[in-house]
Amino acid sequence: MIEKIEEIYSSFKNELNALSKQAEVLNLKAAILGKKGSLSEILKGLKDASPEERQKIGPVSNEIKKSIERDIIDKLKAIEFDEINEKLEKNRTDFSLRDSLRELGLQGGGLHPTHQIQREIEDVFLSMGFEVLDGPHIEDEYHNFEALNIPETHPARDMQDTFWFADKKHLLRTHTSTIQIRGMKERKPPFAFVGPGKVFRSERTDTTHEMAFHQLEGMMVGEKINTGHLIYFMKTLLKAIFKKDMEVRLRPGYFPFVEPGFELDIRWKKPDPKDESARHSGWLELLPCGMVHPNVLKAGGVDPEKYSGFAFGLGLDRLVMVNYAIEDIRLLHRGDLRFNKQFASF
């Protein structure tokens, strides 16, 4: 009897292997395990067997029955899997053609390069406790000149080619230093802020001159703020922008709103040691700065006897231009997306 059972199992295995449809498998299952199935039929004969035989056959037949059931389930799973895969095969999509390979017009997006650098610098200063302020583009003489220690008769007004409105009182701000005055008046020392924004000069435009460009003003006022602190913040700023320690030099520079006033240059190129006439070259004038003039502190409502502070101005477009070696400053305002897309965020 055991032989017969084993024979049934092996022939079942053969038949099962050949099947590929769910119904056929279920039919086969019925043909073996069903009421009139071949295994059931054989097991019916068990009642005539001796107790020893029964004891021997019982576990074997159960084992085989379980194996058959398991094989059936596995087979059904395999068939379903194949069926699904077949469907997937039919619905297969071609993913080779990614958007970046297709002509979909202009893709991606991103900030204007000047604003990217502006935000980077804002974040550096925010992290060091500076607020970020701005002010109006149309200004009056007081905020643009007088409060900044540039009275009407001052020759420095020649240095600033100012756009004037017909009332001769209002103008387009020529520097972000106007933000200093408003910033000081609204605060009590100690305080620190930066002020990025658009400024305007009535200058003939060419590849390096623009009538509208961007500056970032900075100011820190407190009881013991000194020149060494100014250099510290400038070096920190430059490291954040250029991602490395920058060699800087501070030399006298004249700006009416600071005293002492400095020009901060960065080492941009190492000079050729063989070229004697170039031994002090390779510096790039980048940051006018200085200790805030007492008259400016007074205009901002700060007592110059008690407090001191530093201020600096940074040309943002200039920075963008040197950073990316952009040859024409006018590209920044042209809105030509062939330019802007080169600074895409994604």
Partner 1 sequence: MLISLDWIKDFTEVPNINIHDIANDFTMKTAEVEEVKKLNEHLKVIVVAEIVSLKKHPEADRLNLVTFNYGEKEFKEVVCGAPNLEVGQKVPYAKLGTTLPNGITLEPKKIRGYLSEGMLCSATELGLGEDSKGLLQLGKAAVVGQTMLEHLELNQDYLIDVDNKSLTHRPDLWGMYGIAREFAAIYHKPLKNPFDDKWKEKLEKNFTKDKSPISPKVESDSSCLSFWGLSVDGVQVGPSPKWIQDRLIAVGLRPINNIVDISNYVMMELGLPLHIYDRELIGDNTIHIKRLGQNDVFETLDEIKRDLISTDTVICDSQKPLVLAGIMGGANSGVRDETTKIFIEVANWKPEEVRRTSVRLGLRTDSSARYEKSLDSKMTYRTLLRTLELVKELCPEAYVVGKAEYDGLDLSKIPALQIQTSVQYINRILGTELERKEIVSILESLDFKVENSKNDELQIIVPSYRATKDIEGAHDIVEEIGRIIGYETIPVASPKLEVKPITLTAYKNVERKVQDYFSLHANSYEIMTYPLVGEKLLEKAHWSDLNNELVLVNALSQEADRMRPSLLPSLIEAASVNTKNFESFRFFEWGRTYHPTGDEKFFHEKNMVGVCFYSKEKSTFLELLNSVENFLNYVGINFKFQNFCSSKFKNDYIAEDWNGLHPYEKQEIIIRGKVKGALTTIHPLVCRDFKIKGNLSIALIDLTEFTSAEIKKSQSYTPLPKFPAASFDCTVLVEKNKPVASVFDIQKKLKIKDLESMKVVQVFSLNEEHNAVTIRFVYQDPSKTLEPAIIKGYEDKCVATLADFGYSLKV
Instruction: Spell out, one character per residue from 89 to 108, where the chain touches partner 1: x when CB under 8 A holds, - when not.
Output: --------------xxxxxx
- One residue of 3, 89, 94, 152 binding partner 1 per CB under 8 A: 152
Binding segment (CB under 8 A) for partner 1, from list 34-42, 77-85, 109-117, 237-245:
109-117
- One residue of 4, 56, 115, 298 binding partner 1 per CB under 8 A: 115
Using rule CB under 8 A, residue 324 touches partner 1 = no
Using rule CB under 8 A, residue 203 touches partner 1 = yes
Angle between helices 22-33 and 2-18 (to 10 degrees): 170
Using rule CB under 8 A, residue 136 touches partner 1 = yes
Termini Cα distance of the chain: 75
Q: Cα angle at 270 between 265 and 274, to 5 degrees?
A: 130
Q: Which of residues 207-236 bind partner 1 (CB under 8 A)?
A: 211-212, 220, 222, 224-229, 231-232, 235
Using rule CB under 8 A, residue 142 touches partner 1 = no
Residue 161 CA to residue 202 CA, distance in Å, equals: 5
Nearest CA-CA partner of 157 in 195, 196, 202, 199: 202
Minimal distance, residue 176 CB to partner 1, in Å: 14
Contact partners, residue 328, CB within 8 Å, separation at least 6: 207
Nearer to partner 1 (CB atom), residue 32 or residue 117: 117
Using rule CB under 8 A, residue 287 touches partner 1 = no
Residues listed for the chain: 346
- One residue of 46, 78, 88, 337 binding partner 1 per CB under 8 A: 337
Minimal distance, residue 17 CB to partner 1, in Å: 46
Minimal distance, residue 91 CB to partner 1, in Å: 21
Both tokens of residue 172?
């387009």
Binding segment (CB under 8 A) for partner 1, from list 34-42, 49-57, 87-95, 331-339:
331-339
Lookup result for tokens 């004697």 = 276
Minimal distance, residue 213 CB to partner 1, in Å: 10
Residue 199, strand partner residues? 213
Using rule CB under 8 A, residue 276 touches partner 1 = yes
Backbone angles phi and psi of 140, in degrees to 5 = -105, 165
Nearer to partner 1 (CB atom), residue 20 or residue 226: 226
DSSP sequence for 182-233: HHHHT--SSEEEEEEEEEE------SS--SEEEEEEEEEEETT--HHHHHHH
Minimal distance, residue 211 CB to partner 1, in Å: 6
Residue 140, strand partner residues? 170
Using rule CB under 8 A, residue 178 touches partner 1 = no
Minimal distance, residue 271 CB to partner 1, in Å: 10
Nearer to partner 1 (CB atom), residue 94 or residue 167: 167
Using rule CB under 8 A, residue 172 touches partner 1 = yes
Residue 167 CA to residue 101 CA, distance in Å, equals: 56
Lookup result for tokens 């071609």 = 94
- One residue of 253, 268, 298, 326 binding partner 1 per CB under 8 A: 253
Nearest CA-CA partner of 130 in 22, 12, 237: 237
- Per DSSP, the three-state class of 94 is coil
Using rule CB under 8 A, residue 205 touches partner 1 = yes
Backbone angles phi and psi of 174, in degrees to 5 = -95, -10
Minimal distance, residue 87 CB to partner 1, in Å: 24
Q: Which of residues 10-49 bind partner 1 (CB under 8 A)?
A: none
